[in-house]
Amino acid sequence: MIEKIYEISCDNCSHSINHAFYRPTIKDLKEDNIICYKGKQFCCEECLEEYKRAHKKSVNIPIHIDDSIVQ
Protein backbone atom coordinates (compact mmCIF):
# COMPACT_ATOMS: atom_id res chain seq x y z
CA MET A 1 0.00 0.00 0.00
CA ILE A 2 1.23 3.46 -0.87
CA GLU A 3 0.15 6.32 1.35
CA LYS A 4 0.71 9.99 0.80
CA ILE A 5 1.65 11.82 4.00
CA TYR A 6 2.01 15.58 4.33
CA GLU A 7 4.77 16.70 6.67
CA ILE A 8 4.31 20.16 8.13
CA SER A 9 7.63 21.72 9.06
CA CYS A 10 8.71 25.11 10.34
CA ASP A 11 9.73 27.49 7.55
CA ASN A 12 12.40 29.00 9.80
CA CYS A 13 14.14 26.12 11.58
CA SER A 14 12.86 23.20 9.42
CA HIS A 15 11.73 21.35 12.55
CA SER A 16 8.98 18.80 11.81
CA ILE A 17 5.77 20.01 13.44
CA ASN A 18 3.08 17.55 12.38
CA HIS A 19 2.05 14.90 9.83
CA ALA A 20 -1.29 14.57 8.04
CA PHE A 21 -2.84 12.06 5.69
CA TYR A 22 -4.64 14.85 3.81
CA ARG A 23 -3.61 18.31 2.68
CA PRO A 24 -4.31 20.49 5.74
CA THR A 25 -6.09 23.82 5.43
CA ILE A 26 -5.05 26.92 7.36
CA LYS A 27 -7.93 26.22 9.74
CA ASP A 28 -6.60 22.68 10.36
CA LEU A 29 -3.11 24.03 11.03
CA LYS A 30 -4.38 26.65 13.47
CA GLU A 31 -6.42 23.98 15.31
CA ASP A 32 -3.13 22.10 15.82
CA ASN A 33 -1.55 25.29 17.29
CA ILE A 34 0.67 25.86 14.25
CA ILE A 35 1.42 29.52 13.59
CA CYS A 36 0.54 30.59 10.04
CA TYR A 37 1.93 33.82 8.58
CA LYS A 38 1.77 34.83 4.89
CA GLY A 39 1.55 31.25 3.64
CA LYS A 40 4.34 30.00 5.91
CA GLN A 41 4.14 27.75 8.98
CA PHE A 42 6.11 28.18 12.21
CA CYS A 43 6.57 25.97 15.27
CA CYS A 44 6.74 28.84 17.80
CA GLU A 45 6.58 32.62 18.20
CA GLU A 46 10.39 32.84 18.40
CA CYS A 47 10.77 31.29 14.94
CA LEU A 48 8.14 33.63 13.52
CA GLU A 49 9.90 36.70 14.96
CA GLU A 50 13.29 35.48 13.73
CA TYR A 51 11.82 34.94 10.25
CA LYS A 52 10.30 38.44 10.27
CA ARG A 53 13.65 40.00 11.28
CA ALA A 54 15.53 38.08 8.59
CA HIS A 55 13.06 39.02 5.85
CA LYS A 56 12.43 42.62 6.87
CA LYS A 57 12.59 44.93 3.88
CA SER A 58 14.80 47.95 4.30
CA VAL A 59 13.36 51.28 3.27
CA ASN A 60 15.66 53.70 1.51
CA ILE A 61 14.38 57.24 2.12
CA PRO A 62 16.41 60.12 0.72
CA ILE A 63 17.11 62.94 3.18
CA HIS A 64 17.48 66.53 1.94
CA ILE A 65 20.23 68.51 3.67
CA ASP A 66 21.21 71.94 2.28
CA ASP A 67 19.64 71.21 -1.16
CA SER A 68 21.64 68.01 -1.57
CA ILE A 69 20.28 64.47 -1.35
CA VAL A 70 21.86 62.07 1.15
CA GLN A 71 20.93 58.40 1.10
* pLDDT, tens digit only, all 71 positions of the chain: 999 999 999 999 999 999 999 999 999 999 999 999 999 999 999 999 999 999 887 666 666 666 555 55
Answer whether 36's CB lies under 8 Å from 8's CB.
no
Kindly give the residue spans of alpha helices, DSSP state H, lying in the chain. Answer: 26-31, 45-54
In the prediction, which pLDDT does 21 show? 93
Give the CA-trace dihedral at 28, 33, 37, 38, to 10 degrees. -10
